[in-house]
Amino acid sequence: MGRDLADMGFSTIAVHGGVSLDPSTGAIGPHIATSTNFAAAYGSIGFSAEATVADEVPFAYAREGHPNAAQLEQKLALLDGAEAAVVFATGIAAISGLMTQVLSPGDHLLVSDVSYAGTAEFTRGLLAGMGIEVSVADMSDLDDVRAALRPNTRLIHAETPCNPVLKLVDIRALARVAHDHGAELCVDGTFATPAVTRPLLLGADYVVHSLTKYMGGHGDALGGAVLGRAEPMDRLRREVGVHLGGTLSAFNCWLILRGLETLPIRMAAYARGATQVARFLEDHPKVRSVRYPGLPSHPQYALAQRQMSGPSGMIAFTVADHERFGDGLKDQLRIFHFAASLGLSRSLILEARTEDLRRTTFKLDEAHLRRYREWAGDGFYRLSIGLEDPDDLCADLERALSAS
C-alpha cells in the first residue's frame, strides 16, 4: 500500500500498522493463515533454523514465523517505536525467552523487588537454578539500584507501573544507570501499553508485553512480545523463537491484531473509568489509601505526569478493615469478578496479602520487605477497571464498603 505509517499518529498506526490490502482477494483486513508450511523455490530451504528463517523466503515452517505473526510484529514495532518485535505464545514466554537469550551462567540479573508474580518466581527459581545470579532492587529508588549492581550485572528488569502495587519507575534515569554500568534495561510495559508509555524511546533496550492483557484487550487470547533493536530481535527469533518454540498461533495473532485496533480508545476509556473509581475510593471513609497514577496523592505523581500520557486502568487500595471488606465482597459484588488477570472489558478485583506474597512469590529480605509494607501495608486490593459504566462500578464497591 506504500503507507509510511511511521510518520502517522498512534491511532492510525493501531488500525493500519502491519496490515495491508491482500493483493489476491482485495480484503482490507487480515486473513487467518493457518498453514504450518510454506513452499519455496526448489532447493532454497535449508534444514537449520539459521537457514530457514534467514533471508531466502519470507516463511518456511510456522514455528519460525508465519504471516499473522509478521503482521502483529510489525504493528507492535510501530506502536512502541521499535526496530523489531518477536511475538511469543504468552507474556511469560516472552520474558523467560529474552532472559534465556541475554543471560549466561555467571551473569547477574537485577530484577524488581516487586513484579508480576510469574516473573518473580521464574527469575528466583528456574533462572537462578541455571547458574544466573539473581537479586532484587526497588527500581523506584536509584540508590537502591546502584547499591545492588555487581561487576557482572548484565540486565536490569523493571516494570512500570509495577504489578501489583503500581509503583512507578523513571525509565530514562534507570536506563542511564544501567548503561553507565555496561548493563541493559528491559521494561515490562504490560500495565502501561505503548498508548501510555514507550520505554524504548526513553532509553530502554527491550520492552516486553503480555499481549494477554490490555493489548489484546478482550480476555480471549494469550500472547507475549519482546521489542527492541533489529539485531538482538533477529537473534531472539532464531535462538529462542525457533529452538524453544513458544510460537504464537495464527488465530491468537489475528485476535490480538483486532484488539490493537481499539487500543487507544480503550486505554482512554479505562483511564476515564479508573479515575472516577479511584476518586470515589479516595473519598470513602472506609478506604485507607489509594494508589493510582492518575491521582495527585500517588507518591510519584510528578513522574506519572512526565512519563505517562494517561493513568491506565489499574488501581490498588487498602481498606480500614481488610477482613470485613473481604467478607463483604463475596456477597455484594455484582459486576467485578474475582480474577487474577487484567486489561479486559470486564472489571476484575484481586486480593493481595503481603504475607502470602512474601512467602510464595517475592521472598524479600528484611529491607525490601519493609519497603513493601510501607507501600502496600499488610494487604490490599487490586482493581482492573473494565469498560462498564463507572457509576455501576462505584455502586458495586459502595455496597461492599458499606457492609464492611
Write down the least CB distance from residue 159 to ligand PLP, Å: 5
- Nearer to ligand PLP by Cβ, of 18 and 97: the residue is 97
Instruction: Report the residue closest to ligand PLP, judged by CB.
Output: 91
Write down the least CB distance from residue 205 to ligand PLP, Å: 17
- Nearer to ligand PLP by Cβ, of 140 and 163: the residue is 163
- Nearer to ligand PLP by Cβ, of 213 and 266: the residue is 213
- Nearer to ligand PLP by Cβ, of 159 and 404: the residue is 159
Residues 118-157 that bind ligand PLP (CB under 6 A): 118-119
The answer to whether 252 contacts ligand PLP (rule: CB under 6 A) is no
The interface region with ligand PLP, picked from 21-29, 55-63, 112-120, 251-259 by CB under 6 A, is: 112-120
Write down the least CB distance from residue 249 to ligand PLP, Å: 13
- Nearer to ligand PLP by Cβ, of 187 and 277: the residue is 187
What are the phi and psi torsion angles at 162 (to 5°)?
A: -90, 140
Write down the least CB distance from residue 386 to ligand PLP, Å: 16
Options 64, 80, 184, 188; binder of ligand PLP; rule CB under 6 A: 188
Write down the least CB distance from residue 162 to ligand PLP, Å: 8
Question: Furthest-apart CA pair in the chain: how many Å?
Answer: 74
Write down the least CB distance from residue 189 to ligand PLP, Å: 8
Residues 35-94 that bind ligand PLP (CB under 6 A): 90-92
The interface region with ligand PLP, picked from 5-13, 115-123, 237-245, 366-374 by CB under 6 A, is: 115-123
- Nearer to ligand PLP by Cβ, of 149 and 168: the residue is 168
**What's the 3-state SS for the chain?**
CCCCHHHCCHHHHHHHCCCCCCCCCCCCCCCCCCCCECCCCCCCCCCCHHHHCCCCCCCCEHHHCCHHHHHHHHHHHHHHCCCEEEEECCHHHHHHHHHHHHCCCCCEEEEECCCCHHHHHHHHHHHHHCCCEEEEECCCCHHHHHHHCCCCEEEEEEECCCCCCCCCCCHHHHHHHHHHCCCEEEEECCCCCCCCCCHHHHCCCEEEEEHHHHHCCCCCCCCEEEEECHHHHHHHHHHHHHHHCCCCCHHHHHHHHHHHHCHHHHHHHHHHHHHHHHHHHHHCCCEEEEECCCCCCCCCHHHHHHHCCCCCCEEEEEECCHHHHHHHHHHHCCCCEECCCCCCCCCEEEEEEHHHHHHHHHCCCHHHHHHHHHHHCCEEEEEECCCCCHHHHHHHHHHHHHCC
Options 215, 222, 236, 257; binder of ligand PLP; rule CB under 6 A: 222
Q: Is the dihedral of CA 313, 317, 323, 327 positive or negative?
A: negative
Options 96, 112, 153, 190; binder of ligand PLP; rule CB under 6 A: 190
- Nearer to ligand PLP by Cβ, of 97 and 390: the residue is 97
Write down the least CB distance from residue 222 to ligand PLP, Å: 5
Residues 157-176 that bind ligand PLP (CB under 6 A): 159, 163
Options 160, 210, 275, 347; binder of ligand PLP; rule CB under 6 A: 210
Q: How far apart are CA 276 and CA 273, in angstroms?
A: 5
Options 154, 213, 291, 371; binder of ligand PLP; rule CB under 6 A: 213
Cα dist. 357→114, 331, 373, 379 in Å? 10, 25, 11, 9
Residues 315-374 that bind ligand PLP (CB under 6 A): none
Chain residues binding ligand PLP by CB under 6 A are 90-92, 116, 118-119, 159, 163, 188, 190-191, 210, 212-213, 222, 224
